[in-house]
Amino acid sequence: MISCKDPPHLWGAYGEYLYIAPRAMVHKVSKTLPPEAAVLICAVLGNAIRWLRMVGGVSIGHTVVIEGPGQQGLAGVIVARESGAQNIIITGLTRDRKRFDLAREFGATHCIDVEKEDPLEAVKEVTAGKMADVVMDVTGHPEGAIKALDLVGSRGTVIFPGLYGGE
């Protein structure tokens, strides 16, 4: 346990209650941004930055597959786009149609409804058989983890931040 009274710490304001680890990523938020939106930057977008950029190394020209179009997956689309990914593919279920619309708005190049289309074949087609450079599974289901291993190409990276439970 690190005490907020001992260095390193912040001075002033809530400095005695708040601790920021050395080399922590801090995002400046505009005062015009509503708090309801600002919280997403640290809670959701920060996760996607860590997982895709820092762990996955997503960069210019990469193909990224994101399994799961929830908040974490949609944030991943934004991070992949801002990182210069060429192909941003998101997978989900038929009931995720509105989330697919958001994903396209945020920069997804392909949305795959896994209940209607085989994601393996779709990614093969998009990548001319090379498959993805980075796959991030945020479905929280073992089936997503298994599928991620099929979707990644040779020497690619698979990220499993959404896998939980005892299954």
d(CA 142, CA 158): 14
> Residue range 111-136: average pLDDT?
98
pLDDT at 1: 46
Q: Which residues contact 29 (CB under 8 A, 6 or more apart)?
A: 38, 41
Pick the CATH number of 56-159 from 3.40.50.720, 3.30.300.30, 3.30.565.10, 3.90.1150.10: 3.40.50.720
Closest CA to 61 of 87, 35, 39: 87
**Tens-place pLDDT, residues 45-68:** 888 999 999 999 999 999 999 999
Q: Provide the pLDDT confidence category of residue 8 given band limits of 50, 70 and 90.
A: low
* Minimum mean pLDDT range among 37-41, 74-78, 90-94, 145-149: 37-41
Closest CA to 137 of 84, 45, 63, 68: 68
For the chain, report the end-to-end CA distance as a whole number of angstroms: 32
Q: Is the pLDDT of residue 72 over 70?
A: yes
d(CA 80, CA 107): 8
Contact 75, 47 (CB under 8 A): yes
Q: 87 pairs with which residues across the strands?
A: 63
CA–centroid distance for 52 within its chain: 6
